[in-house]
Structure 1
């Protein structure tokens, strides 16, 4: 269906692919993995023909339709979200356009003499529209948008008024509605809440075309894909199985290759020792010669390429009192909309609360109330003794000084810290080599999030409040953060749509529902087991 044959590709000085090959077949669900900057997006662009390989070729079967969702959404404005989504439905939207033109033509008195041809053409086009499911298209478009958490008002409102994250969802909905033969999805799980994520997961499981996707959400990827294509040092390696199987297989291959490399090195050392010892003796000349020839012919085993794994031991946070924060009789309203009435909630030392709730339930509002970023209309919020607060919110990224480099930003926050220590910190959060000299104003959303996180965790607070901390983080950084936070001694209150993050770090769940607020004594895993669903509003 799609074949990648011996491709090589270079971007500036960076070599992305060297004689790389892979094949993608009809009906396969493939996860594309590799470190940041390995060339995942470039590979997608080569498959869609937006870029050419320097050598080799990428070929697709004749006549197959490809839908490509990328993070680069482009301009959207002037029509409703529903119309925007329907416009992406491929041939059917062109047919719908022709139907509209024919209807106008049939009502135009100046074209009365063409009426027979117009009516005949209208019949053909109408039949084609029906065959393509055109009449069901609008209801399908609304169904997809509802799955991605759009309200009716948002569906019918001007798409130009939506935020960047919601425009991403419109772009994703276009591809899903199109139902192409092959779907290429670059980070479709970014910007989605948990409910939308679970809906999308089911949609993609039921999709019968070929799917290739990247995702920083391992749980999401694990549940959908049955084949992994890995970009590793310019090569494409294919593994049959889900993401978990790939991780195990890769680790096993590395161990085997390491063992082979060590065996060969030991054998080579023995041979070289023999040659060195006897090369001056005429009596051993023939043996020495034959061993030299043997060594020249040996295929050398390479040691496994080491993945750059980032690990950082965060300093211990100072101990807080037993009562970290307490909310008594708290009410919060926005205009006529009441978010909380008479809320009582208490966080104690070493509890790790994850806050669950559908869009608009008040998750971020709760975090703002706890951190004092917003005041309650009634009731009070009391912070306990010796509490040192760290708050990660999406707006924190706007507060970085754009003129500072990454390194200056860290230096400014920690003037007492040594250069080596700050470079190690930067490296953990994905800023290696020249990246630390980048000006903050040119950083991507993901890089800004990593920088804010690095600044917060270097001098750790004993109460961490995190609003979607993993939104922009790649798999390696996310793993590092989970490992670091698993050993963290302090207290946590967080909102996240990443189920791996939720399961690994929570030991309490606060669920916000229209019927009221529920507290669960166990973590996310126990919450799923006791409620039978993975997110509020979804019943499994």
Structure 2
């Protein structure tokens, strides 16, 4: 359906692709992977004709419809969310617009003399609208929006009043409703809560067209894709299978290449030693010459390219008392909406609580209460002896000074630390070399999140309170963070929609439901096994 043939592409001084080729065939669900800045979004933009390769070509079969979702949703206002979604449903929305225009023409007294032609055209357009299942369109639009966690009120309200994250969901819903032959989805899992993520996963599994997508959510990608396309040093490498299989294959290929490289290096060393030893002897001249020629002809094996991932190691945190946080008889309401009433909760040292609950259940409120960012209406919240808290919230990213460079921001927080250790810290969180000279105001959401995380973890707290810490983080940084937090000796309370993160780090689950609060010993994996669902509100 789509062929990428020998493309080369350079962006300013960066070479993205060198004679790279790949294909997207009917029914394939492909995960596009590669480090940040490797050119994933550029591939999408070239397929949709927003950019062009410098050499080579990208061809799309005639008549193939493409739906492209990216993070730039553009302006939306003046319509309800449902109308906005229906507007993007491809051919059927154009037919609906013509139907409305013809209905207006039929009631226009100035056009009486054209009425026969208008009525005839109306019959044709109406038949086409029925053929495209147009009358079911609104129902389908509402179904998709409900899957993405919209309430009826939000569906019918002005789309312009929604936050950026909800507008993203509207833009995604447009593509899903359109059901094109090919879907290009650039990070569809960002900004989604766990329930919406699982709904989208099921939707895409049942989608019959071809799919090319990027995602920083490894579990989500793993369950959907049947092929992985990797951007690696300018080329496109294809692996059949899911994301986990791709990781195994890549590790195996690297191991084989390393072994091949080492064997060849040993052989070359032996040959060079022979040449050096006998090059001055006339009796061995012919042998030496033939070995020199042989060496010139050998195709050299390159060592495998090492992925640059830097491990972050916690300095040991000071030990806290056994009781880390205690909530007694806590009540909290926003207007008439009661979030907690008579709520008791105790967090003890080394417990790692993950909070589960549908949107609006009160997960972030609980984190704010514990972190002291909001006060209970009644009851008490107390923090234990020797507890040093680190609180990561989405608004923490707004507290970074835009005029400082990354390095200056780190220096501001840690004036006593040496240049070397701050550079090492920046490197662990993906800011290598000159990156540390970037001004904070130009940083992307992911870069800001990494910087806030670096500041929080450098002088380690013994109690981490984390609200969606993996939002915006790429797969490699997320892996690094999971590894670092696995070795963390302190206590944790966190909210995340990333199932890999939840499973790797939790040892307790607090589930907040309208019926009440439930506590589970054992982490997220045990929670899923015991409840039979991956998130509250989804019963499988």
**TM-score relative to the length of structure 2:** 0.99
Structure 1: distance between partners of 2:408 and 2:323: 36
Distance across 1 between alignment mates of 2:430 and 2:129: 50
User: Whole-Å Cα distance in 1 between the matches of residues 82 and 270 of structure 2?
Assistant: 72
* Aligned mates of 1:296, 1:444 — CA distance in 2: 48
Separation in 2 of the partners of 1:10 and 1:181?
A: 29
Does structure 1 residue 56 correspond to structure 2 residue 53?
A: no
The superposition leaves residues 52-91 of structure 1 with CA deviations (integer Å, 9 ceiling, x where unpaired) of 0000011111110000000111111111111111111011
Aligned mates of 2:433, 2:460 — CA distance in 1: 25
TM superposition shift of 1:146: 0.4
CA distance in 1, matches of 2:68, 2:48: 8
Q: For 1:434 and 1:57, how far apart are their aligned partners in 2?
A: 34
Match of 1:294 in 2: 294
| Alpha-carbon shift at residue 418 of structure 1 (Å) | 1.0
1:423 counterpart residue number? 423
The equivalent of 2:19 in structure 1 is: 19
Separation in 2 of the partners of 1:484 and 1:425?
13
* Alpha-carbon distance between aligned partners in 1 of 2:434 and 2:86, rounded to the nearest angstrom: 44
Q: Aligned equivalents of 1:56 and 1:280: distance in 2?
A: 51
Corresponding residue SS for 1:31: strand
Alignment of 1:318-329 (within 5 A): 318-329=318-329
Structure 1 length as normaliser, TM-score? 0.99
Contact 1:508–1:520 under 8 Å retained in 2? yes
CA deviations 1:259-316 (Å, max 9, x no partner) are: 0011111111111111111111111111111111111111111111110012011101
**Alpha carbon RMSD of aligned pairs, Å?**
0.6
**2:528 is matched with which residue?**
528
Corresponding residue of 2:448: 448
Q: 1:133 maps to which residue?
A: 133
Indicate yes or no: 2:101 matched with 1:72. Answer: no
Shift of residue 432, structure 1, vs aligned partner: 1.1
| Residue aligning to 1:507 | 507
- 1:262-301 matches, cutoff 5 A: 262-301=262-301
Regions of 4+ moved over 6 Å: none
Q: Which residue number corresponds to residue 461 of structure 2?
A: 461
The whole-number CA distance in structure 2 between the counterparts of 1:133 and 1:437 is 55
* 1:495 alignment partner in structure 2: 495
**Contact 1:310/1:476 (CA < 8 Å) preserved in 2?**
no
Q: Secondary structure at the match of 1:320?
A: coil
Give secondary structure in 2 for the equivalent of 1:155: helix
- What are the within-5 Å matches in structure 2 for residues 139-538 of structure 1? 139-538=139-538
- The number of residues matched between the two structures is 540
Provide the residue aligned with 2:94 in structure 1. 94
Query: CA deviation digits over 1:343-383, x for unaligned, max 9?
Result: 00000000000000000000000001111111101110011
Q: What's the counterpart of residue 123 of structure 1? A: 123
Give the Cα–Cα distance (whole angstroms) in 2 for the partners of residues 161 and 103 of structure 1: 31
Verify the 8 A CA contact 1:394 1:467 in the aligned structure 2. Answer: yes
3-state DSSP class of the match of 1:517? Answer: strand
For structure 2, which runs of at least 5 residues remain unmatched after alignment?
none
Alpha-carbon separation, structure 2, partners of 1:159 and 1:198? 24
Q: Which runs of 5+ in 1 are unaligned?
A: none
SS of the equivalent of 1:26 reads coil
C-alpha displacement of 1:434: 1.4
